Amino acid sequence: MSFVAAAAVVSTVAACGGGDDDSGGGGGGGGGENEASDIGVTEDTIKLGSHYPLTGVAAPGYSEIPTGVQAYFDCLNQEGGVYDRQIEWIYRDDAYNPTNTSQVVNQLVLEDEVFAIMGGLGTPTHSAVLDFLNSEGVPDLFVSSGSLLWGDDPEANPYTFGWQTDYESEGKIIGQYIAEEFPDAKVGLFLQDDDFGEDGEAGVRQYIDDQIVAAVRYTPGNTNVAPQISELQAAGADFVVGFNVPSYTALSQLTALQLGYQPEQWFYSNVGSDANLVGSLLARFSQGAVSDASLLDGALTTGYLPTVDQTDNPWIQEFQRIWDECGGEGELTNYRVYGMAQAYTMTQALQAAGQNPTRDGIVEAIETAGADWEGPVFAPFRYSEDSHMGTSGMSIERIVGLGSEEVVPVQVTDIGDADIEEFDGEAATPPENGIPDEESVVD
């Protein structure tokens, strides 16, 4: 897994609809007075909410994300929060079931009265609440999914913003790499049967449509993927690209092993490639017959954030400090890093919205300043009035053991026919205490 972005925005707070200027940000208050400026905002607190699969088939890995968010906000609160307001973080279990998602998000909005939803996880799940959040005027920020739904049509969904690289752009980067490095490969696609798989497939096909010999789809919850893997095998696919969640990385590997199917190369999208988690799932699903992630050795993937194996990376070092000081049980994982990175971006957004933020004001602040934020993610965000898309680029990596090594440096692109270019920017370094510096905020 991998991640990007951070720096903040305060100078034209009034223009951004954020209330009184009187600068100040995380760790410090403004010169004016805090007011209960909107739903979920009091003089002393800002209430944020989200939904995650804390139980069920998607819980492994994903259930750790909100604990990373919690750790970051707890350390932020110890430093004074944002404009002397403490962040209240409420997250509820939807078990990766869209019906449950609707129920828990209704509760968060109508009963808990959160200021915003941040990081709601999953394409099929968050799709179920997209219309509700926008009709209620609730900021729907930094969705934990790469679907185009969150960012390509701000006119239709003005309160919703993506965060991670979208699946179409990821597919484009993967497709170009295959076209250049494996021009003779017979490519098979293993796809989740929703926008996740569809968007990834659309991106890949822009570059290698004539190389694809089969495209198979699985329905989340149906754990028998033998028909799909058998179809790839029968089609002679020697290079398999998966746009799937971690459980189905493990299932695809075990099924291929049972069928004696050995493609020359596997390539899993970022979502499904956390070797540590997949290794534990392989052991569980095989009842110990496979004990680790060695089946993934040599598989390719993509990255947009640093990972926990990169212990020399300053962001990983900072997130490790935060986890050690403010985290709960267990170790720092890539999923907790993901949550911390999102919380960092959320802190920038709250800083940008000004001392007394409003729901409309934070939306305008992200559109105005978000493209300039720097942080742990590898490439710039695409935020503007015309685009609510998240980070714009990814590297290509090879899985080695429980970590990865870079194969191709960060490539940046956008949806549609936008070109792919190598990112020529420099990696950002963490600010003191891991809190965005409000002095670096620009309009």
Domains in the chain and their CATH numbers?
A: 1-165+304-378 (3.40.50.2300), 167-303 (3.40.50.2300)
Count Cα atoms within 13 angstroms, Cβ side, for 196. Answer: 28
pLDDT tens profile 181-226: 999 999 999 999 999 999 999 999 999 999 999 999 999 889 999 9
Alpha-carbon radius of gyration of the chain:
21
- Strand, helix or coil at 105? helix
Other residues' Cβ atoms within 10 Å of the Cβ of residue 74: 18
Q: Is the pLDDT of residue 2 over 60?
A: no
Q: Is the pLDDT of residue 228 over 50?
A: yes
Tokens of 392: 């714009």
Mean pLDDT, residues 79-102: 97
Tokens of 303: 């990255």
Residues 374 and 39 sit within 8 Å (Cβ to Cβ): no
Query: What type of residue is 250?
Result: A
Q: Is the pLDDT of residue 441 over 80?
A: no
Q: What is the mean pLDDT of the chain?
A: 92
Q: What are 91's strand-pairing partners?
A: 50
pLDDT of residue 258: 97
Sheet holding 212-218, edge to edge: 212-218, 187-192, 239-243, 265-268, 300-303, 393-400, 403-412, 421-422
**How many percent of the chain have pLDDT more than 90?**
86
pLDDT of residue 199: 96
Per the listing, tokens 């490639």 go with 273
Name the strand (E) or helix (H) holding 118: strand 116-118
pLDDT of residue 439: 62
Residues 423 and 393 sit within 8 Å (Cβ to Cβ): yes
Mean pLDDT, residues 227-236: 98
Confidence of residue 7 (pLDDT cuts 50, 70, 90): very low
Query: What type of residue is 105?
Result: V
Confidence of residue 31 (pLDDT cuts 50, 70, 90): low
Per the listing, tokens 């709960």 go with 328
Q: Is the pLDDT of residue 9 over 70?
A: no
pLDDT tens profile 46-63: 999 999 999 998 899 999
Q: Enumerate residues 6+ apart whose C-beta is below 8 A from 162.
A: 142, 143, 145, 146, 147, 150, 151, 388, 389, 390
Residues 379 and 151 sit within 8 Å (Cβ to Cβ): no
pTM score over 0.85: yes
Q: How far is CA 70 from CA 50, 218, 323, in A?
A: 12, 33, 10
Q: Is the pLDDT of residue 304 over 80?
A: yes
pLDDT of residue 5: 31
Q: Is the pLDDT of residue 310 over 90?
A: yes
